[in-house]
Chains A and B, each alone.
Chain A
Amino acid sequence: AQTVTQSQPEMSVQEAETVTLSCTYDTSENNYYLFWYKQPPSRQMILVIRQEAYKQQNATENRFSVNFQKAAKSFSLKISDSQLGDTAMYFCACPTNNAGNMLTFGGGTRLMVKP
């Protein structure tokens, strides 16, 4: 079974600063996609960024970027220029199996952006 570990239950950052959220995963698959989702207090899970394991280049979406280390099975999320609206739970997810896109999620990191 796949496992996803987020070792930081809670983090805080000052507005405009940079923060990195950690994630490690375990999979026996060769090609797969990894995802970071954000869940604000409104509860709706919103896709932040995704990374294809076959791509060497780390994915970037505006202020969000990943540091993907395939051999180490590490997939961290960096948020630059943090904004108050970034306050949320962040979940890392990997595929449950190679038969489709069902996801296994980590336990989440609660991020608080302070003014």
Chain B
Amino acid sequence: ETGVTQSPTHLIKTRGQQVTLRCSSQSGHNTVSWYQQALGQGPQFIFQYYREEENGRGNFPPRFSGLQFPNYSSELNVNALELDDSALYLCASSLVGGISDTQYFGPGTRLTVL
């Protein structure tokens, strides 16, 4: 069984640029959630995708957008990068996104915005 994978591991961008982060869900999982974890803080929920549709969204501006593909992998896109977007971005997958479903996390992508 393959776990959750994310790419790239690290990324450096400049303010105003756009970035795309990728996530492959665990085998058999069709729900993917994205979280932003600033240094020294707990993760904050960005949004969740279930069967290619956005299923819920946290308090993040529209420049944070996402996609889920038919194989349930997912992308997180951030436009017009700001310095405060520097963080660890975590992807988590679960079976169907129900309240009893545990989320399994990937290793994260560290984004640095200069």
Cα distance A97–B55 when bound, in Å?
12
Q: Is the CB of B94 within 8 A of A101?
A: yes
Nearest Cβ in chain B — how far from A16, in angstroms?
Answer: 29
Whether, in the assembled complex, B105 has its beta carbon less than 8 Å from a beta carbon of chain A, the answer is yes
Provide the residues of chain A in CB contact with B43, threshold 8 Å: 45, 91, 103, 105
Interface size of B in residues (CB-CB distance below 8 Å): 30
Cα distance A37–B102 when bound, in Å?
11
Provide the residues of chain A in CB contact with B45, threshold 8 Å: 96, 102-104
Q: Is the CB of B42 within 8 A of A47?
A: no
Q: Is the CB of A100 within 8 A of B90?
A: no
Q: Is the CB of A43 within 8 A of B101?
A: no
Segment at the B interface, from A27-35, A65-73, A78-86:
A27-35
- The chain B residues found within 8 Å of chain A, CB to CB, are 31, 33, 35, 41-45, 48, 50, 55-56, 58, 88, 90, 92, 94, 97-108, 110
